[in-house]
């Protein structure tokens, strides 16, 4: 018996172990780090879109998909915070003169940006 064979119909290769051929399974998904937004989106699709979640999981694409969502969402969130801070007139001068007012304003802006990003990207 041959040590390695490939099924011509499916393209799957097998290795002979003892008397049994075992498929050579290789994960095509790399081990990306998933941040806050990726984890939040994972919870959402796992609960509300289980078929989509299972498809990504079985096709070994879940980790890379969540990484892409995380990177894209982080960029949008950061840009949105900067834009809203500029619109509200929150500057470094305010930070130097009245730290408490600056923190309150930035927390408000951060919460607004978080809500927008969740509504527009994470929960879709």
pLDDT tens-digit readout, 65-123: 999 999 999 999 999 999 999 999 999 999 999 999 999 999 999 999 999 999 999 99
52 shares its domain with 15: no
Domain count, the chain: 2
pLDDT tens-digit readout, 26-64: 655 567 889 999 999 999 999 999 999 999 998 889 999
50 shares its domain with 105: yes
Range of the domain at 22: 1-30
Q: How far is CA 72 from CA 18, 19, 34, 68, 123, in A?
A: 48, 49, 12, 6, 14
46 shares its domain with 104: yes
77 shares its domain with 104: yes
Mean pLDDT in the chain?
92
């Amino acid at each position: 018996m041959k040590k390695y064979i490939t099924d011509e119909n499916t393209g799957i290769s097998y290795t002979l172990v003892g008397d049994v051929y075992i498929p050579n399974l290789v994960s095509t998904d790399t081990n990306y780090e998933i941040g806050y937004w990726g984890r939040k989106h994972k919870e959402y699709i796992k609960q509300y879109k289980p078929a989509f979640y299972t498809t990504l999981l079985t096709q070994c694409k879940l980790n890379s998909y969540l990484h892409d969502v995380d990177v894209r969402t982080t960029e949008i969130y950061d840009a949105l915070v900067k834009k809203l801070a500029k619109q509200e007139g929150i500057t470094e001068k305010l930070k130097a003169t009245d730290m408490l007012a600056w923190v309150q304003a930035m927390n408000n802006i951060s919460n607004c940006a978080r809500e927008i990003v969740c509504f527009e990207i994470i929960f879709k």
